[in-house]
Amino acid sequence: MKENPQMLPTSRSRTQPRAARPWPLSGMDNSDSRRKPHVYGKLLMAVILTAFCILILKQSPNFSGSNVFSRHEPGVTHVLVTGGAGYIGSHAALRLLTDSYRVTIVDNLSRGNLGAIRVLQQLFPEPGRLQFIYADLGDAGAVNRIFAENAFDAVIHFAAVAYVGESTLEPLRYYHNITANTLVILEAMAAHGVKTLIYSSTCATYGEPEKMPITEATPQLPINPYGKAKKMAEDIILDFSKRSDMAVMILRYFNVIGSDPEGRLGEAPRPELREHGRISGACFDAALGIIPGLKVKGTDYATSDGTCIRDYIDVTDLVDAHVKALDKARPNKVGIYNVGTGKGRSVKEFVEACKKATGVNIKVDYLERRPGDYAEVYSDPSKINSELNWTAHYTNLQESLSIAWRWQKLHPNGYRSPSTRAV
């Protein structure tokens, strides 16, 4: 707020009448002439001080003149990573930052971890490398403002609820969170001229195919709301791409395991979601004594040992596939790829590998099937091998679990210390 100018009293006693003032030709009286050099001196001092402050600020590493995230720069690719506080998204952000991309993470932290964001910020503190925006993709106004205020070159869309069992209990939540929110992202991309999309999809869109392995040409017949919502989102993306010059890559990946080999990030689902979480998380919780044992749901499937067959892909390989897809994305082109190892492993095999990785003889209870699950799913990765030059390298199940276990042992409470609340 500006200060009010000093006001003279409206009345005061005078001992004699005020003399009439002369009117100099200059239009200014003698008192004004005497004041002018003083005023000029103050203005000059203000200018000097302002220039000095600007000089100091420019020497500061945090000064950029304007927000670097709001402008395109030659040689710098600015990627929006939705869901970047989550398990897969945070690992993808780590890889992108390591490869010198500029990264903006948008996450509402309903499933993600602020602790993962803090790790990334500590690893990459330099100005213009990473920013985190807390926002819900279901808020179209907020999403539009984010696109308006940032110069994105590409979007990698991870953000989604992603538990098959939970989707059967809360189908509307899944259709809203996955399908509707993807539409919001597409509308914002169209409105602001962002032309490259890497979409995180799932093998759940295939349902329960009659033939194995699954290829990209396998019919998509999802059997649970999670898979159906993802297929709807894919269909929207494909329909929109037909009338635009977008570069689109859709990655349908299989069961994700593992963590950063250097131990910087890991998987830390919220405690209330353990019932729906990945089998690896349940194995580690049992090994840590957080839960009394492991519950295997379904032993009567038409497989070699009666348990489900899955294709387990290490998160490091999965992230590598996203980076290669981003590099190969081209205008007016759509690429659809399965991301898996090409080898199926049964749940019983997985449990035995987890026991060896942790060194704990985990108690196992065998229960009835989980609604919406399917017997056997594994990929044929030959298309992504040939077109994107991508191959899974972390294919030893026990080794991937051992890497993840090291992080879990050091972080039994996830990204929070024992004495603090979850973040």
Q: How many CB atoms lie within 10 A of CB 46?
A: 10
Q: 294: which residues sit within 8 A by CB, 6+ positions away?
A: 279, 282, 283, 286, 351, 362, 363, 364, 365
Side chain identity at 313, as an amino acid letter? I
- Among 163, 174, 226, 337, which one carries the catalytic annotation? 226
Annotation says 226 is catalytic = yes
| Contact between 380 and 214 (Cβ < 8 Å) | yes
- Report how far apart, in Å, the C-alpha atoms of 116 and of each of 64, 89, 132, 182 are: 26, 10, 11, 23
**The two three-digit tokens of residue 307, written as one number:** 């348990």
Burial (CB count <10 Å: 0-12, 13-18, 19+), residue 319 = buried
- Round to whole Å and give the CA distance between 274 and 266: 15
Backbone dihedral angles phi then psi of residue 164, each to the nearest 5 degrees: -60, -50
Q: 298: which residues sit within 8 A by CB, 6+ positions away?
A: 306, 307, 308, 347, 367, 368, 369, 370, 373
Residues known to be catalytic:
226
